[in-house]
Amino acid sequence: MNARAAENSPVTTIRNAAANAKMTVTRLRGNVSVLEGSGGNIAVITGRDGKLLVDAGISGTRARITEALDSLSNDPVKHLINSHWHFDHTDGNEWLHSVGAEITAHENTKKHLSTTTRVEDWNFTFPPVPSGALPTKVFESEQTLHVNGATLALKYYPPAHTDSDILVEFTEADILCVADTLWNGHYPFVDYSTGGSIDGMIRAAEANVARVTDETIVISGHGPIGNKSELIEFRDMLLTIRERVAALKKQGKSCDEVVAAKPTADYDPKWGSFVVNGDFFTRLVYAGI
Ligand SMILES: [Zn+2]
């Protein structure tokens, strides 16, 4: 499948965005903060056991990440969790490991980072990462960590955005990191090359809605810090567009014909202005129906 005849890879788009972005730091609650501006969002919990990060950002922004981390506390970085294997969440693995972070991830994250991986829809081939960038601890379905006085529940999503996505819940603070199963206010990328699918994305979106309350703070993979109503809005967008594309495909239309019919038109102004525009998202949905 080649859903995108791409001369410009979204990988380049994301790297360039990070190169020019300002790093913002938002303190939430329970010593948990969020860094935005280096690929995927980065959650941080500070404390006596050392900082724990959820996701590693883009390595080219190491200086700005370091500055942001230093602004929170003096604790060294001791732990890193990768929410999934994608470069915009794991690019910083090597330097974070070099300064002392153990890296925890789903076993498929380690698998994909260990080998050459072609993402056709990004028109990009990722070489294996250096050994120092590989997760040092992997798990299959669930794991609980106790760090800095907090309980962290890690749980594998069945294949959704990729086949390596995990949620990370800061239980006492009631903060849920949902990885790239939520792009808050943006159409999501869906990585069919490593097990993702539109139906998997919808299942994960349903699971996220079921897991949170109105009080839960939701940290998306991309986009602003969110909440339950934004999880619902995202799920409903996925369901509506899947339904529209499925109806057109059922009429026998080709992918190009469905894209030409603009089934996402009324959603595009809100959702289509980041890495994935309406046409690209339509192709990603069509590929999975
Ligand atoms: Zn991703």
Could you read off the pLDDT of 177-218 as tens digits, one per residue?
999 999 999 999 999 999 999 999 999 999 999 999 999 999
Mean model confidence pLDDT for the chain = 95
pLDDT of res. 240 = 98
**Dist. CA 251 → ligand 1 center (Å):** 32
**Dist. CA 58 → ligand 1 center (Å):** 13
**Dist. CA 86 → ligand 1 center (Å):** 5
**Dist. CA 205 → ligand 1 center (Å):** 15
**Dist. CA 85 → ligand 1 center (Å):** 7
Q: Render the chain in DSSP notation, one character per residue.
A: --S---SS-HHHHHHHHHHHPPPEEEE-STTEEEEESSSS-EEEE-STT-EEEE----GGGHHHHHHHHHHH-SPPEEEEE-SSS-HHHHTTHHHHHHTT-EEEEEHHHHHHHHS-EEEGGGTEEEPPPPGGGS-SEEESSEEEEEETTEEEEEEEPSSSSSSS-EEEEETTTTEEE-GGG-BTTSPPP--GGGT--HHHHHHHHHHHHHH--TT-EEE-SBSS-B-HHHHHHHHHHHHHHHHHHHHHHHTT--HHHHHHT-TTTTTHHHHSSSSS-HHHHHHHHHHT-
**Dist. CA 143 → ligand 1 center (Å):** 21
**Dist. CA 117 → ligand 1 center (Å):** 14
**Dist. CA 97 → ligand 1 center (Å):** 21
Given a cut of 50, whether residue 83 has pLDDT beyond it is yes
**Dist. CA 216 → ligand 1 center (Å):** 22
**Dist. CA 68 → ligand 1 center (Å):** 23
Given a cut of 80, whether residue 132 has pLDDT beyond it is yes
| In the chain, % of residues over pLDDT 90 | 89
**Dist. CA 30 → ligand 1 center (Å):** 26
Given a cut of 60, whether residue 6 has pLDDT beyond it is no
**Dist. CA 180 → ligand 1 center (Å):** 5
Q: What is the mean pLDDT of residues 24-44?
A: 96
- Tens of pLDDT, residue by residue over 98-110, are 999 999 999 999 9
Provide the pLDDT confidence category of residue 3 given band limits of 50, 70 and 90. very low
**Dist. CA 54 → ligand 1 center (Å):** 13
Provide the pLDDT confidence category of residue 7 given band limits of 50, 70 and 90. very low
Provide the pLDDT confidence category of residue 2 given band limits of 50, 70 and 90. very low
Given a cut of 90, whether residue 26 has pLDDT beyond it is yes
pLDDT of res. 31 = 97
Q: For the whole model, what pTM was predicted?
A: 0.95
> Which carries the bigger pLDDT value, residue 22 or residue 272?
272
**Dist. CA 98 → ligand 1 center (Å):** 23
**Dist. CA 198 → ligand 1 center (Å):** 14
